[in-house]
Structure 1
C-alpha cells in the first residue's frame, strides 16, 4: 500500500480506537458517578492507539529493519509512559479520595456528573480528551507506517523522553511522600525536590515526554512527517498547561496558605533551579 492511503488508514483506525476507549470510559464513569476515571484512560488509551498503529505498520507499512525497530521501540516508550501514568492515577483514584470528583472536572462540568448528566460530561470532557488523545498521537500513528530517516533524531527523542519521564515519575513520587506526612507537621505547600524547580513537574514531564516521542516517531521519519505532526507536542503542552492541567489545578491550590510566596519563587511550568530568579522565565 502506498504511503498516503496507509496514513489515512492508520489515522482512521486511531480515531476509532480513541472513540472506543472514551466510550468505555464514559460508561465506567457513569457507573462510578465521576468523570475523573478519564485520567486512568488517558495514559492507557495512548498505549492502545500506539499498539494498533504498530500492528498496522508491521502488516502494511515499510518492512525495513529500521522501520520495524522504530515502530516497536516507540510503542515501548509509549507503553512505559502510559502504563506508569495509568497505574499511578488508578492508585490515587482508589486512595483516600476514592469516589470523589476531581475539582478540575467539577470546574469543567459546572457541577457533579449527577447534576449535569452524562451527555454534558461526554461533550465537555470525554470528547475533548478523546480529540486531544488522537491529536497528540499523530506522530506515533504516522511514524508507525513510514520509514526511519534519521537515527540520531530517534536517539535524541529517546533522551528527551527519558528526561520527561524522570520529571513526571520523580515529581509524582515526591508528592505522594509529602501527602503521606502528617498534615500538622508538613509544609502547607509542597516545595521540595522538583517541586522547588517548577510548580508542576509532573505536567512539565508529561509535555517533555511527548516532545521526545515527536522527535523519535515524527521528525526521525523525515522533515515532512515532522512538520505535519509537530502540532501534537504543541497541543499536549497547551492542554496540560492551559486547559485541563496546571491552570485548573492552580485555581484550587492558590487558596492555600503560603501559596503566594511559593508562586513568587517557583515558575509555574518551565523549571528553574532553586535560587535562580523567576523573572528569568515566565514559565
Structure 2
C-alpha cells in the first residue's frame, strides 16, 4: 500500500511539472503569464489520468471509485481549461492580477521571477490539492456513502462554476450601453464569485469521495487539499485580489454591500 501511495503521488508531481514546464515555454513565447490559467485545469486532468493509470497498472484501489475520481477531475479540468482558453484568446495583454503579483509585465520582470512566483508555485500546488485523488485511486473504499456525498457536492460545484461563467459571458456579450453597471442577477445575486465558490465545492466533493471515503486517516491526511484550494480562491489569488480592482468600478461597492463575497446567501435589501 505504501508503495502504491508513493507512486501515485509521484505521478501527480511529474504530470504537474511537465504541464507547467510546457506552459512556461508558451508564456515566454507569448510574453504573458496569463496562459497559466488555461494550464491549471489541464494540469489537474493530466495528473488524475496519470494516477488512475498507475493504480490500474498495479491493480490498486477500488476501480469503480478510482475511475469516478479520474472522470470528475478530467471533466472539471477540461471544462475550466476550455472556458479560460476561450476567454484569454480574446485578450492580448497581461492579466492585471499577474502584473500586480510579479511587479510588472513578463518582458519587464523576466522569466526567472515568473517561474518562481507563478509556474513553480502552481506546479507545486497541483499535487498538493490533488492529494485526495492520488490517494483515493489506490486505496479501498471504506464508506461508499461518502463517495455519493462527494459526487453530489461536486455536482453543486460544477453547477455554480458553469452556470456562473455562462451568466457572466451573457452579460459581457451585451453592448455596454445596454447592460447594468454590475451583474447582480442569477447566481451573481447570491455570491459575488459563484465560479470561485463552485471551484471550492468541486474540491471538497473530491475530498469526500477520495479522501474521507477511504477512512479517517486518509481523510485527515488530505483535508489540507480542499482547505488550501478554498483559501487561494477566497483570500489569496482569487476573490480578494480581483476585488481590489472591481471596487473601483461604479456600482460595485453598493453591490458588494448587499451580496455575499464567497459563500452564497440571499441578497440584502435596501
The structural deviation recorded for 1:125 is 0.8
1:61: how far off?
4.2
Q: Write out aligned runs for 1:1-283 (5 A).
A: 3-62=1-60, 67-95=62-90, 97=91, 99-275=92-268
Distance (Å, rounded) in 1 between the aligned partners of 2:58 and 2:166? 41
Supply the distance in 1 between the matched residues of 2:236 and 2:243 (Cα, whole angstroms).
11
Q: 8 Å contact 1:6–1:61 — kept in the other structure? A: no
SS at 1:128 equivalent? helix
Aligned residue in 2 for 1:281: none
In the TM superposition, what is the alpha-carbon distance from 1:62 to its structure 2 partner? 2.7
Offset of residue 39 of structure 1: 0.5
Look up the SS of the partner of 2:181 in the other structure. Answer: coil
Distance 2:163 2:11 in 1: 34
Deviation at 1:4, TM superposition (A): 1.1
The 3-state SS of whatever aligns with 2:267 is coil
CA distance in 1, matches of 2:253, 2:86: 30
TM-score w.r.t. length of structure 1: 0.93
Residue deviations 1:200-253, cap 9 Å, x none?
000000000000001111111111111100000000000111111111110111
Is the CA contact 1:17–1:48 (under 8 Å) kept in the aligned structure 2? Answer: yes
Mapped partners of 1:59, 1:147: distance in 2 = 15
**Which stretch of the first structure deviates more once superposed, 26-35 or 11-20?**
11-20
List runs of 5+ in structure 2 lacking aligned partners. none
In structure 2, what is the Cα distance between the partners aligned to 1:87 and 1:241? 22
Q: Partner of 2:34: helix, strand, or coil?
A: coil
The CA deviation at 1:134 is 1.4
How many residue pairs get aligned? The number is 270
When the two structures are superposed, what TM-score results if normalisation uses the length of structure 2?
A: 0.97
For residues 246 and 78 of structure 1, the distance between their equivalents in structure 2, rounded to whole angstroms, comes to 22
Q: Quick one: structure 1 residues 276 and 130, their matched pair in 2 at CA, closer, same or farther if it must change by over 3 Å?
A: farther
Return 5+ residue gaps in structure 1 as ranges: 278-283
User: For each residue in 1:122-172, what CA deviation from the matched residue of structure 2 results, as whole angstroms up to 9, or x when unmatched?
Assistant: 111111211221110000001111111111110000000000000000000
> Is the 1:61–1:146 Cα contact (8 Å) retained in structure 2?
no
Measure the CA separation in 1 of the matches of 2:83 and 2:158: 13
Cα RMSD (Å): 1.2
Task: Give the secondary-structure state (helix, strand or coil) at the position aligned to 1:148.
Answer: coil
CA contact (8 A) 1:157 1:212 kept: yes
SS in 1 for 2:33: coil
Query: 8 Å contact 2:76–2:158 — kept in the other structure?
Result: yes
Whole-Å separation in 1 of the counterparts to 2:119 and 2:181: 33
